[in-house]
Structure 1
């Protein structure tokens, strides 16, 4: 036991040192504009497992740990909204056993996240599940509902989890409801009325969309909401993203901030 004490002391020292360096880094970055809303396509979990010859599911587990770290960094630096793409509607077309595996994994990770009391309570995170939630398997739907109910009074930061989601489906859903609704003196198809019925209408549009693994397509994710935001696609697979990947994304946002703001005003 005595031999382990120096290791414990060194570990705490390194943890404290890394924390101070991160705080200093964030204070420097905060001199510039900080995105209010960052969206992530968490791409590369399977390739990460294949790259390191890990067992099935290990890539998603590593991806979950990466998400926890990224959330902490985002909330520490002042990002209020974080949106992640968890499961597309198109994914339901996969083999039944594969869909069942992902649903089981999602159920497990929702419950695991709710055990991350440090994040949920320290940062006052409100969890919102976005998409056609009726398509979810019942255990996942129940877990998602419990997570939303448990955090409903939190308003400091938000985590939006897009599951059973596709942007084309979201737009179709919004158009359908907008056509059914009659507003006094306002045409049903005005943009403001359409956006009100979007699944993502509960939060501001993303300032930057980050897709890991170097892939540059949007994959039917937030097509409407990303019309005027910065896109960034680092080569790192999702479990490899880490602090530097996030920092480079924010720096890219800052480099394009005034140009994007000017474009918004012109539009």
Structure 2
């Protein structure tokens, strides 16, 4: 039943005009999204910020389904940054409950549709209920071979890079590595995203034009796409627009 619901929705989407004209070779392998604007979306409607975060959770499902249907292999979502702890405690507590709520509702869907859940972030600061929900999803989907849904949760790129440098320096001190062995490939593999390829496309919603400490090393040659649309309003159509724009760009990686 669950798998059929996803399949029916995908079939319906396939018939819409905006799904045409995206050749498979133009679909990025790895899409990363900074999901921004939940609070402002709610404020404009006279709602509490938490209502925006709850609505944004529904967008996560819709875009995950569409990414899976289009053939995206990796979808990384910036769910909570190391800087987000500065927000009011009530909002932080609500945000820490969202992964548990989302996975309780959607985990069977994800399993049925061969989606593999991963997480990159600093686990030590997460509440037990948040961490246990995520780790259960990771465990139960570990054998899946479809779309990798990677949550950046309590993630900060500067902290990630500093800890990677410290770990590499410790290995050099202990004789496990020589300075000459340190290169781009080694450094990338030691990052929290080491199992994933670098993002091909970064999407940021809500009109902000910055990276906000997100995958600073990994995004060095990613294509960037920004929209004024708030995350709760971000639709499959917007996702297609980003991918279509990505397909029109020439990626030269510093070459001619």
Question: Match of 2:230?
Answer: 237
The reply on whether 1:252 has 2:242 as its aligned counterpart is no
Could you say if the C-alpha distance between residues 143 and 184 of structure 1 is closer, same or farther in structure 2, counting changes exceeding 3 Å? same
Listed one character per residue, the Cα deviations across residues 113-161 of structure 1 (whole Å, up to 9, x for unaligned) are 32xx334322x11101111111101111111111110111112110000
The answer to whether the 8 Å contact 1:91/1:99 transfers is yes
Runs of 4+ in 1 over 4 A off after TM superposition: 15-18, 182-186
Tell me which of 20, 41, 62 is aligned to 1:48. Answer: 41
Distance in 2 separating the partners of 1:151 and 1:130: 16
User: Which consecutive unaligned segments of at least 5 residues does structure 2 have?
Assistant: 1-8
Higher relative contact order (CA 8 A, sep 6+): 2
TM-score normalised by the chain length of structure 2? 0.88
Tell me which of 165, 169, 186 is aligned to 1:175. Answer: 165
Tell me which of 120, 140, 143 is aligned to 2:130. Answer: 140
How many residues get paired? 246
Could you say if the C-alpha distance between residues 176 and 113 of structure 1 is closer, same or farther in structure 2, counting changes exceeding 3 Å? farther
User: Which consecutive unaligned segments of at least 5 residues does structure 1 have?
Assistant: 1-14
Question: Match of 2:191?
Answer: 198
Give the RMSD, CA atoms, in angstroms: 2.3
Question: Match of 2:93?
Answer: 100
Distance in 1 separating the partners of 2:99 and 2:109: 20
Distance in 2 separating the partners of 1:98 and 1:56: 8
Question: Match of 1:120?
Answer: 111
Distance in 2 separating the partners of 1:17 and 1:180: 52
Question: Match of 2:13?
Answer: 19
Question: Match of 1:152?
Answer: 142
The answer to whether the 8 Å contact 2:36/2:206 transfers is yes
Question: Match of 1:60?
Answer: 53
Could you say if the C-alpha distance between residues 209 and 17 of structure 1 is closer, same or farther in structure 2, counting changes exceeding 3 Å? closer
Q: Which moved more, 1:98-107 or 1:155-164?
A: 98-107
The reply on whether 1:80 has 2:73 as its aligned counterpart is yes
Distance in 2 separating the partners of 1:59 and 1:93: 18
**Structure with the higher helix share, 1 or 2:** 1
The answer to whether the 8 Å contact 1:175/1:189 transfers is no
Could you say if the C-alpha distance between residues 55 and 198 of structure 1 is closer, same or farther in structure 2, counting changes exceeding 3 Å? same
